[in-house]
Amino acid sequence: MIGRWFGSVSQRVPSLLYRVSLMMNPQVVFVLGGPGAGKGTQCCKIVEVREMERERTMETTILTLMSYNYTHLSAGDLLREERAREGSEFGQLIANYIKEGKIVPVNITINLLKKAMLETMEKDEKKFRFLIDGFPRNEDNLQGWNTVMDGKADVKFVLFFDCGNEVCINRCLERGKSSGRSDDNRESLEKRIQTYLQSTRPIIELYEKLGKVRTIDASRSVDEVFADVKAVLDKEG
Ligand code: UDP
Ligand code: MG
């Protein structure tokens, strides 16, 4: 897998898992849902479970295979990092798009995602499963993904956090009291919801037609939602 991307393969004796991963593309779960649906919160919980299981065991190789072992990559967080990076040629553009609730041109986002995936796998060859949170959000995103990642990653399914607009708006306004995010205010939120309905829902519907969407009722408490998330992951592996 890493060899395929970099043209070189680690020389050390490979573990069972490494040999398996070498033959596989990175495995991706797209995590979608409206702003404030709980994508980031639930992704963090998925990763936490894995860390806990890891701590509990001495024999990590096999058990790691059985635990979720996902790396969480939030497209929004990567864009916010890039916005803050000194010398970034895209900082101002990203800032404008985020505040307006618009979707940043995919060439920027896809490069950040690809770089983050590569860096993760380079550091630890066992980390080849990714939760890609908040992407693809529109047709342009999807096309960019298909162009750049075709044959290089497998999309297993879409985890869809389904949540009414009112609940989403209220959660983001609540989060806005402490998040410091430039888009957690009513004006930006109205725009984000419109973008979600007009641009992101059709992408979810497209995957739905392919039988690839796992829908979770995300209007409930964090723990109730997570119980359903676990059920999906236990089934899907
Ligand atoms: N964004 C984008 N492309 C992406 C992901 C995010 O342009 O692939 C921008 C977009 O302006 C969006 C904002 O980043 O409204 C915040 O996204 P995030 O996923 O952080 O918000 P959430 O949906 O989690 O509240
Ligand atoms: Mg988020």
Q: pLDDT band for 8, please (50, 70, 90 cuts).
A: very low
| 8 Å CB contact between 121 and 2 | yes
CA atoms of 90 and 92, how far apart (whole Å): 6
Question: How many residues are there in the chain?
Answer: 237
Per-residue pLDDT of 130-163, as tens digits, reads 999 999 999 999 999 999 999 999 999 999 999 9
CA atoms of 54 and 91, how far apart (whole Å): 37
Q: How far is CA 39 from the centre of its chain?
A: 8
pLDDT at residue 18 tops 70: no
CA atoms of 35 and 56, how far apart (whole Å): 34
Secondary structure class of 6 (helix, strand, coil): helix
Would you say the CB of residue 38 lies under 6 angstroms from ligand 1?
no
Q: pLDDT band for 21, please (50, 70, 90 cuts).
A: low
Q: How far is the CA of 34 from the centre of ligand 1 (A)?
A: 10
Would you say the CB of residue 40 lies under 6 angstroms from ligand 1?
yes
pLDDT at residue 4 tops 50: no
Average pLDDT over all residues of the chain? 89
Would you say the CB of residue 196 lies under 6 angstroms from ligand 1?
no
- The protein residue with its alpha carbon nearest to ligand 1, atom 23, reads 35
Domains of the chain, by residue range, sit at 34-76+106-236
Q: What is the pLDDT of residue 23?
A: 72
Would you say the CB of residue 144 lies under 6 angstroms from ligand 1?
no
Token duo for residue 166: 């009112």
CA atoms of 70 and 119, how far apart (whole Å): 14
- Sort residue 101 into left (φ over 0), alpha (ψ -120 to 50) or beta: left
Q: Are strands 154-162 and 129-133 parallel, antiparallel or unpaired?
A: unpaired
pTM given for the model: 0.88
pLDDT mean over 20-43: 91
Q: Which ligand is nearest to the CA of 135?
A: 1
Per-residue pLDDT of 93-122, as tens digits, reads 999 999 999 999 999 999 999 999 999 999
Q: For the domain made up of 34-76+106-236, give the CATH fold.
A: Rossmann fold (3.40.50)
Per-residue pLDDT of 166-185, as tens digits, reads 999 999 999 999 999 999 99
